[in-house]
Structure 1
């Protein structure tokens, strides 16, 4: 029997695209089971990397490596995640969902288990790379499971939930990662990650997705493109992840990596541009709509990097993760609220306003944080972080849907869209962190020079501050000179702390400005469409119609 022969489907069962599952009717209990499994799979795809990301300082200590070396862990994840999206679509189209599921979950579980016995930086990087590959597969797999949980008329809401669930991984990781470290130090993180992988594998083996169409998808030139594109992306990720740590202009290898990245990615795009059946449709990706979509996702991801700045700000004040638990809980509530409200309100006509509302909320939150002082504590950041978390998840579903309509109209562009969306998300996250860290360092140096310039012992207030600092040590230090030196050191530390606070305020203000500029850009484009009598909604409407994939007469069936 030819596995690639087209199958016969009932109207409501027809798969949306080759490689995706069919959509038969399910009982309510089975729909609930699909929803639960979809959530578990989606969280497995993101939670392991989130646990490592929020605990990099602890991982650095346990592995005994330098700060620059530990940055290879998040870089390895993004390298593998972005690159694998280039092949995963065709893999599941040609070999089917079952092999797709079992292979990548098994790879993830084996790599995590191996790291428990081989403890070193190389094995940790290998686990992150394996998680990046499996994470790319699990994100799509989770979306497919969630789609099975909803009837046809609500499939657009299912898409919002499916792409939103992985966004909950980071706030969840901040909530309980400290307890995992207390249980088994770094091994506690990896035991939990292994448990999640095995749980997800058990769930997908017990509750399988319905079969779909399989087609012969791979061509020889696909692997040439992958061989050029994957190392190009890896070099770019290395530059963005480590540039701030080793500093951009002090490490020549960063320039070589960036040059190599440009050459390799350009060569891959050149190969694809001249193919009759390209893996990446460069002409479609360079259309105005897709460029605007990529720029929107990239800018919003940069705005979302404000959360990383918040962590750095609170740590600069001397707070640890245990003192921020309520803040992370509020952040998680905001993220859940953003996904829920987006799913309940999404329609093709509301996509553009939804994006603007999300950006406006994030702009307000970042502006509120830009007025922080050395007396600011997590309690003063509850509202701002809730707004940022809500807006960060509220935008994702509408953004995905706004571009997916073009894929429905031309299924051959699925790989191009998947890669563009994934690159914008992941590269945007690395770029945002790099911008936040770089601007913070530069502004800290500026503010520090301004503050120290005015500190002189000839100033009575400065002299009194030094003396009071030294006087506090009078009971343990008899030497007046030593007490005076320690008083000067305390004053210097206070100046550095204030410079860091001012620098983070500048970062938050910059992020608010980026959000406002993005809103204005979207608004001007929307007004231009109105003035030229263009309608931006049909592509999203196509997505709504195609994902429903059923007539109105059948949409109410159970």
Structure 2
């Protein structure tokens, strides 16, 4: 498609008229979508994966460095709400060019980071600048595909690629960090941004007609929503680290989030043209979809906040985790591709059943971990969970888009915000709640283990003697040797308590998946019974204003009112 071709006029929020492309151009746009989607995913994964190493480079503690992750996630949940309006008012092509330029500029400024404060500021702007990349990845994937394949092929592909980015970051991070530290990640991020910049200018998107849609109250509502979402993100990212009841500022942050979101809802309910249709979003169907997306995102947090952190506690290095996350990345992509031959709206419940069953099976397998478990033993279980994540996401988004389109193009914005917010906030909430549960259960298990390891216990005495014998060649002093032997026993107890806590969390994930699976089966069984024994009565035909009246020879008397049209 040349830059001078213009599509036929289309409604705002509707897709442009489809113009067939050649195979090279089609592959080029699909390649651009994959590149942009991976650029966005890698930007997030580089930070979350390498917090300990980045903290060392910045001379900060790991707790302080966690603010980098919070700063990156704060704008991610609310920016799409404003970006969709900006795209509609200023045009898709200009939006794409400006968005990728801003991201490239922010990637360049990352080389100027010198301390924690500057790093947090850069990460905040990086999160803001990377928010449009998900939209661009969608647009480039849908641009060359015929209408029949946009939902069937484009949607699963782009969602799988965006989801695979953070996992791929764990695969390539050890090689990039090397001896160069954080600069290696900066170089990779800048290179991806430069490639994406070239692709956006070489392959322009078809623009829709520009319509002025941004009102002053839209900015007010967006600022309130952004403040609320940002407060929730900070609270759930930092809550398990500072502990909820030990840091008073966490309560104030959550209170501020509740107040600002409440004000936003009140304002939107009293607007004639709201930014979000709160009444539709609070309908039973949308509440059910929102709860489904949120619960599923919470369950999938087992993969991001579970196995990697458990292996870190057990002393497994990032290099040793590369094969595991390479398989997880592959399973994520395969989960999206597996949908392509079967993608239909009527099969969405079946896809969800399969995904829940796979997650439950993977979590059940993980719940039998021991202190000797290594990445090789969790290959299959983690691959099942990764496959299920992609297998669920695309059908859920397709179901929501169809529901929104049935009511009109204006409702697409409201649904997209629900979808993206549940994924972004759900990820932060899931990680925070998972870590909180782990810390609570670890403290409980450790207390039980310490009580059982009395000095007079024969097993404890034998373990101390065994460690002293091993330490004999290194520590000739008897008192120092015994103290070191006892310290090793205490460390083993701590590690054992953590493994037991993670097993509890994995088992809880299994129970959540099993409960959701049972609820879905009961829901489908109820619908089948209703259709089988209590069929809905046929709706009476609505009168058509354009059709003539059934009686032409004997018009109705003038004293009778005309039928309502």
Aligned counterparts of 2:122 and 2:340: Cα–Cα separation in 1: 34
Tell whether 2:65 aligns with 1:70: yes
- Pair 1:425–1:16, CA change in 2 (3 A): farther
What is the CA-CA distance between 1:9 and the residue it aligns to?
A: 5.0
What is the number of residues matched between the two proteins?
525
Tell whether 2:46 aligns with 1:48: no
1:527-548 per-residue CA deviation (whole Å, 9 max, x = no partner) reads 33333339xxxxxxxxxxxxxx
State the partner residue of 2:260.
264
**1:365 corresponds to which of 338, 362, 368:** 362
What is the CA-CA distance between 1:15 and the residue it aligns to?
A: 5.0
Aligned counterparts of 2:318 and 2:173: Cα–Cα separation in 1: 9
Aligned counterparts of 2:130 and 2:318: Cα–Cα separation in 1: 26
Aligned counterparts of 2:11 and 2:316: Cα–Cα separation in 1: 49
Match runs of 1:178-189 below 5 Å: 178-182=174-178, 184-189=180-185
Q: In terms of mean alpha carbon deviation, does 205-214 or 269-278 score higher?
A: 205-214
Tell whether 2:224 aligns with 1:238: no
What is the CA-CA distance between 1:139 and the residue it aligns to?
A: 0.7
State the partner residue of 1:292.
288
Aligned counterparts of 1:371 and 1:407: Cα–Cα separation in 2: 43
State the partner residue of 1:174.
170
What is the CA-CA distance between 1:17 and the residue it aligns to?
A: 4.6
Question: Normalization by structure 2: what TM-score?
Answer: 0.90
State the partner residue of 2:134.
139
Contact 1:175 1:328 in 2 (8 A): yes
Q: In terms of mean alpha carbon deviation, does 70-79 or 236-245 score higher?
A: 70-79
User: CA RMSD of the aligned region, Å?
Assistant: 1.7
Tell whether 2:296 aligns with 1:310: no
Q: In terms of mean alpha carbon deviation, does 86-95 or 108-117 score higher?
A: 108-117
- Pair 1:533–1:75, CA change in 2 (3 A): farther
Aligned counterparts of 1:104 and 1:42: Cα–Cα separation in 2: 14
Q: In terms of mean alpha carbon deviation, does 195-204 or 207-216 score higher?
A: 207-216
Aligned counterparts of 2:531 and 2:179: Cα–Cα separation in 1: 62
Q: Relative contact order (C-alpha < 8 Å, sep 6+): which is higher?
A: 1
State the partner residue of 1:88.
83
What is the CA-CA distance between 1:149 and the residue it aligns to?
A: 2.9
Match runs of 1:399-410 below 5 Å: 399-409=396-406, 410=408
Q: In terms of mean alpha carbon deviation, does 250-259 or 229-238 score higher?
A: 229-238
Contact 1:171 1:332 in 2 (8 A): yes
Q: In terms of mean alpha carbon deviation, does 507-516 or 155-164 score higher?
A: 155-164
Question: Normalization by structure 1: what TM-score?
Answer: 0.91
Aligned counterparts of 2:92 and 2:59: Cα–Cα separation in 1: 40
Aligned counterparts of 1:508 and 1:517: Cα–Cα separation in 2: 14
Tell whether 2:251 aligns with 1:255: yes
What is the CA-CA distance between 1:177 and the residue it aligns to?
A: 0.5
- Pair 1:176–1:8, CA change in 2 (3 A): closer
Match runs of 1:135-214 below 5 Å: 135-157=130-152, 158-182=154-178, 184-214=180-210
State the partner residue of 2:382.
385
Flag structure 1 segments of 5+ consecutive residues without an equivalent: 1-6, 535-558
Flag structure 2 segments of 5+ consecutive residues without an equivalent: 533-565
What is the CA-CA distance between 1:52 and the residue it aligns to?
A: 1.2
1:219-255 per-residue CA deviation (whole Å, 9 max, x = no partner) reads 1110110121111111111101100000000000000
1:309-335 per-residue CA deviation (whole Å, 9 max, x = no partner) reads 101111222111111221112111211
Specify the SS of the correspondent of 1:210.
Answer: coil
